[in-house]
Amino acid sequence: MRVVLQECKKMEYQREEASPICAAGEVALQVQCCAVCRSDAKMWREGHRDLVLPRVLGHEVVGIDPADGRLYAVWPGVACGTCELCQAGRDNLCKEMRIVGFHRDGGFATTLVVPRSSLEPVPQGLPALLATFAEPVACLENGLSRLAAVPGERAIVYGGGTLGMLAALWLAERGCQVTVIERDSGKLARLASLAEAKHIELARDTTKADFDLAMCCCPDPLALSLAVGKLRRGGRFSFFSGLTKNETLDGNLLNLIHYRELEVVGSYGPRRADMAPALAFCLRQQESLGMLIEGRIHPAELQAVLPRVLSGGALRYIVDWSLVGQAASPAAAVKVDSASSTAAPALTPFLAELCAAIRPASREMLLRAQTKVDRKTKPLGSLGRVEQLAVRLAAIQERLDPAVDCRRMYVFAGDHGVVEEGVSAFPAKVTVQMVENFLAGGAAINVFCRHYGIELWVVDSGVAGDFADHPQLIKRKVARGTANFALGPAMTRQQALQAMEEGARAFLHGQGRQPCSLVGMGEMGIGNSSSATAIICAATGLGAAAVAGRGTGVDDVGLARKIEVIDKALSLHGVDGSDPLELLARLGGYELGGICGAVLAAAADRCCVVLDGIISTAAGLLACLLCPTAADYIVAGHRSVEKGQAEALRLMGLEPVLDLGLRLGEGTGAAITMNLVDLACRMMREMASFEEAGVDSGSL
């Protein structure tokens, strides 16, 4: 049996049909117990940049080796053993590290394949349930041992959860006077007797200061700042990972470390050598550890407790595989997310009506327009793509004297959860900052639109921030950014439909104010080149290496990471161009959905659409997959440096008008091309024919 995380928040309880395959030096450990740690809960909800799904989570494992029948705790790392760090006893930092439950399947299963060298014998007299504490205690051994605590020193710990109390017990064993700060009144009540027995001060807050040692055992950045602020001059701080994602720390914190000459010790996981002393600690502290157990649960109850673990409201849950075969709580059973297994919704009536209204361009008008262009006073084809633009506009407007009476640019903006995977050279907060720059008139697209007389609108489709009302801002937010598509769907199908509808309505609202015959599609969203690339890969069947570019300018390492993340996502979702709505929901962004909807609305209104770079091209591709005739109304503005754009344009049967080496986005390339479209229309209307000019066509 095993509990498999298929994608974020989606778990399945599976029966293993075959015995696991062990390589040389590996053992198929019979798992007895596996504790549920906050890292497991975080990966269940939001993933981890190194997590490849589907995956069995769980890394605080105790099991039996069938070869000798003995009970072992598992060091969850698999290191190379030969690099400089491994040789120096710092194997937890090995660049080749593969962690059980992260990179390899973990302990939420009856059987776990691990290297035999990762097994640490559990001392006699220590039950398996309590031996699961060995891994977090080993983390503390790694971090706190370097603080060199001595008897009599004063220590403060922020966070009274399992890790915080283990740290307090570890420090108390070394004779330190320990204060634990915990805001949850329920935890304070449950831990009161343990704190009293171990002479640990437990409080919601303290006015005491000048501590010798400090550590933060909760994800709150404020708690970290408070912990550092409590230290005396020359004090020591042990920094554990686990802060809430995408938070910023006050710069004054670094100044405090500077002025007080504080020692800060980083700590990442346990070293292999930390497991033995950790188990010895567990043997000594059995009674205390028992008081930290919230519950012993059936494997099928795992998903039900994860939200509570994540919220910090619980102490320690331990999955006990000896309970398999007994009845679990029906409400807690692990099963497929019902929202994912229901019938997929079709297009909304509004979007279906738009698609039905998109008619193919008239073949007759195309031929008539081409004949008119050919009769102009020039050699055949000598104006190149300008001629092609003139013919296309004539077919779109169904007239031989096409005109551009109004030009409008929409810049759709949205944030992307995949930024957490390290795929961008810029942080997510830049999306908000750039939208504010657009509204202030200071971005490149503002300059281009002012120069060419293009009306500019900014559409908030899904930015992770809010904006004050502004004359150029259209608020069409679906949500505050997408989820991380490397770990699950970027959005639900309903959200994908909403994004498309909001984009279409944004365009149609503008048409209601003043009809526009030429519209450009720009975008802004940190991480959206990864989303666009993934969509193009899925639609074309190509791997990320053949499509991915540098986006915001990532370096070689960043590009390799981007390719790895996109390939991982493609493998996870298994989508293609046969269901473009699912493609958008799984891999897209709200601004891509907005552009897709706006393209459909423009095509239905017989308005020419000029796409920009790879992002708007990917959105245009989605529109064409939904309604192939939409391609008749699209102009590819410029050839992007991002190589994936060419693959998408190939599917749409389009060629870019310009090649200026652009890769900014925002709609800048589209703005330049829109000016050429206007020029092409003027050529069509104003340039004389051979007959009108009295020029002998044979002389050219």
Looking at domain 2-133+292-335, which CATH architecture does it have? Alpha-Beta Complex (3.90)
pLDDT on residue 342? 39
Q: Where in the chain is the domain with CATH 3.40.50.720?
A: 139-267
Q: Which residues pair with 473 in a beta bridge?
A: 458
pLDDT on residue 338? 33
Split at pLDDT 50, 70, 90, the class of 331 is very low
196 is catalytic: no
- Tens-place pLDDT, residues 347-362: 999 999 999 999 998 8
Mean pLDDT of 222-251: 84
Residue 671 and residue 452 in contact, taking contact as beta carbons nearer than 8 Å: yes
Residue with the bigger pLDDT between 13 and 500: it is 500
Residue 100 and residue 26 in contact, taking contact as beta carbons nearer than 8 Å: no
Q: What is the reported pTM?
A: 0.70
- Residues in contact with 398: Cβ distance below 8 Å, sequence separation at least 6, in sequence order: 362, 365, 606
Check pLDDT > 60 for residue 337: no
Q: Where in the chain is the domain with CATH 3.40.50.10210?
A: 349-608+626-685
Mean pLDDT of 520-547: 94
- Tens-place pLDDT, residues 625-676: 999 999 999 999 999 988 889 999 999 999 999 999 998 899 999 999 999 9
Distance CA 89, CA 415 (A): 41
- Residues in contact with 624: Cβ distance below 8 Å, sequence separation at least 6, in sequence order: 630, 631, 634, 651, 652
Q: Which residues pair with 265 in a beta bridge?
A: 238
Q: Where in the chain is the domain with CATH 3.90.180.10?
A: 2-133+292-335
* Residues above pLDDT 90, as percent of the chain: 72
- Tens-place pLDDT, residues 551-570: 878 889 889 999 999 999 99
Q: Can you name the CATH fold of 139-267? A: Rossmann fold (3.40.50)
- Which token pair is 671? 């703005």
Domain 349-608+626-685, classified CATH 3.40.50.10210, yes or no: yes
Burial 587-621 (b: 16+ CB within 10 A, else e): bbbbbbbbbbbbbbbbbbbbbbbbbbbbbbbbbbb
Split at pLDDT 50, 70, 90, the class of 187 is confident
**Per the residue annotation, which of 60, 196, 666, 691 is the catalytic one?**
666
- Tens-place pLDDT, residues 116-157: 999 999 999 999 999 999 999 999 999 898 888 999 999 999
Check pLDDT > 50 for residue 340: no
Q: List the one residue out of 71, 33, 38 whose CA is nearest residue 324.
A: 33
Max mean pLDDT range (179-183, 242-246, 329-333) = 179-183
- Tens-place pLDDT, residues 393-440: 999 999 999 999 999 999 999 999 999 888 998 989 999 999 999 999
Split at pLDDT 50, 70, 90, the class of 241 is low
Residue 301 and residue 323 in contact, taking contact as beta carbons nearer than 8 Å: no
Whether the ω angle into residue 219 lies within 30 degrees of 0, i.e. cis, is no
